Copies of this chain bind each other. A is one copy, B any other.
């Protein structure tokens, strides 16, 4: 269990070779699963590796192969539920495919920050980059210019953008939410959106409008929140100042919905008797809200898997055409929505 030697005496390929009575190249072949090794020597080498507790030196390997088995994930807004879920699932997916993950977090969504993150690591020979880019403020074509040929997959870029990426169709999700309220008979529907520099917030906002207009209904008041519960609370208060006769409310995420429910209740409105409310994300807590929240679930698990899969494809075949893989959310109906009476 304890290391056989002091750390000063590192075990190398040559030590294993001497111990097994073969050349260092043969040991290298065994390590890399080269088929041109006889069964008997392979066993002998494997025994020597085990006996000496040998670990290949990744730095040396990377130096010559120019590959690192490392994926970098550049993330933004990890304190929010969505991005944090993405990171978790990307890690899992990467590990399943034999890659390790280098974590970089952006404090600000600017080209300078992104370029700093990439620069820092281009010297590390990362094999690929996943960029969680949910916010406006950067010309994404420019980012591709910065990566020095390192394959890149972006998550949460606008739908229809021509950069390689994986996205959840937020338009579709928002449609589901709004149509659900329409089907329950609601005709006066307001919105609390996320910050409108987030692509997801924009998409949900626009589809809320277009879904209503497509059936000839004028959208109600829309106010902006900041994704947090308290932000949703304050946004709802502002909304109630402008309008207090709506019966349906779509909210940009579940946390804000929680805050909004609180504000509505303080105002004397009951949910769902007076107002039906739909959230977004389906966070694990949503089912225990008062009342349990109807919401649009996003499959972050699939998002993580898809983006790693796509990135690995891109690493293996760099000339693959850029595409945008699209996932679809689905509606979870609970007790915060009800047919209008």
Which A residues have a C-beta under 8 Å from some C-beta of B? 1-3, 6-7, 55-60, 62-63, 68, 73, 78-79, 84, 87-88, 91-92, 95, 100-105, 119-125, 142, 145-146, 148-149, 228-230, 232-233, 255, 258-259, 261-262, 265, 284-285, 287-290
Contact = CB atoms under 8 A, between A and B. Distances in A.
Copies in the complex: 2
Contacts of A284: 228-230, 255
Main secondary structure on A side of the interface with B: helix
Nearest to A55: B123
A258 B291 CA distance: 12
Given A7-B148, A79-B88, A119-B55, A285 B255 contact: yes
Indicate the member of A261, A262, A265 with the most B CB atoms within 10 Å. A262
Contacts of A102: 100-103
A192 B100 CA distance: 38
A287 B229 contact: yes
Indicate the member of A7, A58, A149 with the most B CB atoms within 10 Å. A58
A229 B229 CA distance: 16
Contacts of A123: 55-58
Given A100-B102, A101-B102, A103-B101, A288 B59 contact: no
Indicate the member of A55, A92, A285 with the most B CB atoms within 10 Å. A285
Contacts of A92: 105
26 contacts: A1-B142, A6-B149, A7-B148, A7-B149, A55-B119, A56-B123, A58-B125, A59-B59, A59-B63, A59-B125, A84-B84, A87-B103, A91-B103, A95-B105, A100-B102, A100-B103, A100-B120, A101-B104, A102-B103, A228-B284, A229-B285, A229-B288, A233-B288, A255-B284, A262-B290, A265-B290
A205 to B, nearest CB: 22
A266 B57 CA distance: 60
Nearest to A71: B103
Indicate the member of A100, A103, A228, A289 with the most B CB atoms within 10 Å. A103
Contacts of A59: 58-60, 62-63, 68, 124-125
A213 to B, nearest CB: 32
Contact of A288 (B79, B119, B230): B230
